[in-house]
Structures are given as structure tokens and as C-alpha cells.
Structure 1
Amino acid sequence: MTDTTARVRELNLYAQYFALVAAGTKTIEVRVKYPHLADLATGDVIRFRIKGTAESCDVKVKRVTEYPDFESLLDGEGPANVNPTATRDQQLTNIRAIFPPEKEALGALAIEIKLVPAS
């Protein structure tokens, strides 16, 4: 018998990015290719939380694409899909403030997401 239940991952998000995800306007989440995300796949569910709060929202993973760095990711995915409220250069600065060069060197993941309506 096959288990068709989607895997649920819990990841933290800063409040400003959480708001964009919860509104459905942020459709690409940027992450570093950490080992614990290596098997993230289409159909998985990510439960985003604002760290230190109970506030959460669920998204379904539509696609995971690996890029060598954040610049390639923004160029490939389009900055408006990552953060519709900031320019490409602002986003690059913000992403690199979160993930320093040694983290970026692991590779960048573009995770295409779709908000799951609250039930």
C-alpha cells in the first residue's frame, strides 16, 4: 500500500516575507540547499511560521529548482515572484544579509509555492 499523504515541513520566515506568502503574492521562496532540504519535492507541504509565534500558513510545493547562486535564481525566476515589493538589487542585498557567502556557496533553491487555503 502506498502512502499518498504529503510530507509537511516546518520552516521559519521573517514577518515581512510571511505576510507576502500568506497573501499569496510571493510565489517563489528562496532557500539555501541545506542537506535537510535536499529531498524537498513537488507535492510536499511547507508550514511557514513567524519565529517565536503561533502564526502559520501552509503552502504546497509546485516545483524546486536549484541555482548556483542567488543572482542566477533571481534572473531565472523573476524578482517579482520572490518579493513583489522590492527591486532585484534590494532583494539580492536582503537575501545575502540572511544567507552569507559560505551558505550561498551550498547552492540556492527556488521553491515555487501555492498557498493552501485555511480550512
Structure 2
Amino acid sequence: MTDTTARLHELNLYRQYFDLVATGTKTIEVRVKYPHLADIAAGDTIRFRVKGTDESCDVNVKRVTEYPDFEALLDGEGPAHVNPTAARDQQLTNIRAIYPPEKEALGTLAIEIQVL
């Protein structure tokens, strides 16, 4: 039997990305496919937090799509959905500064979100 109960995931975000999520302008969250994120699914809730603060923002997961790398993810999702304030090349640089090549090699996730 499959468990279809929606789950709550708590994840940290840098301030600049948190603000974009909280205002609804960022609709795709980018993550590496770490084992603890492998089961994230549509219908789940993510509580994003700004590390070191009490600020949080809850979002509904609408869809999760796996990509082999960040370039494919940006091409597939469109950079404006990932970060509407930065060009594609800048986003790729920013993402890879957070996730080095050995992390990217795990696979990448595009998580479509909607603020609750």
C-alpha cells in the first residue's frame, strides 16, 4: 500500500530567494536530489526558513521534475521561474556556487511551488 499523506518538509533559503518565494515571484525552487528530498511530491508542503531567524513561508508543492543537471533544469523550466531578477548565466553561476559539481552529479530537482 502506498502512503499518499501529504508531508511537511522544512528547508532553509537564503534571504534573497526567500523574499522572491514569499511574494510569489519565484515559482520554481531548485535543489539537488539529496536522499531526504527524493520523496518530495505534489501535494506536500514546504516550510522555507531564513536560516538564523524565525521567518518562514509555507508553500504547496505543485510538481517535482528531475533533471540531470542545472543547465537542463534552467532550459526546461525557464530561468524567469527560478529567479526573475537574474539572467540565466548568472543563475547558473549562483546555483553552482551553492552546489559544487559533486552535488550536482546527484541529479537536480525543479520543485514547482505556490505560496499558501
TM-score interval, normalised by the smaller of the two chains: over 0.9
Distance 1:66 1:5 in 2: 21
Which residue of 1 is the match for residue 51 of structure 2?
A: 51
**What does the per-residue CA deviation read over 1:50-109, in whole Å, with 9 as the maximum and x for residues that have no partner?**
001000000000000000000000000000000000000000000000000000000000
Which residue of 1 is the match for residue 73 of structure 2?
A: 73
Which residue of 2 is the match for residue 27 of structure 1?
A: 27
Which residue of 2 is the match for residue 115 of structure 1?
A: 115
RMSD of aligned Cα (Å): 1.1
Q: How many residues align?
A: 114
Distance 2:16 2:53 in 1: 14
Distance 2:90 2:70 in 1: 12
In structure 1, the gaps of 5 or more residues are none
Distance 1:74 1:24 in 2: 18
**What does the per-residue CA deviation read over 1:17-39, in whole Å, with 9 as the maximum and x for residues that have no partner?**
00000000000000000000010
Shift of 1:6: 2.6
Q: For residue 14 of structure 2, what is the amino acid of its counterpart? A: Y
Which residue of 1 is the match for residue 96 of structure 2?
A: 96
Q: TM-score, normalised by structure 2?
A: 0.96
Distance 1:104 1:36 in 2: 15
Distance 2:46 2:22 in 1: 12
Distance 2:9 2:106 in 1: 20
1:105 aligns with 2:96: no
In structure 2, the gaps of 5 or more residues are none
Distance 2:11 2:30 in 1: 12
Indicate the SS of the match to 2:40.
coil
Q: TM-score, normalised by structure 1?
A: 0.93
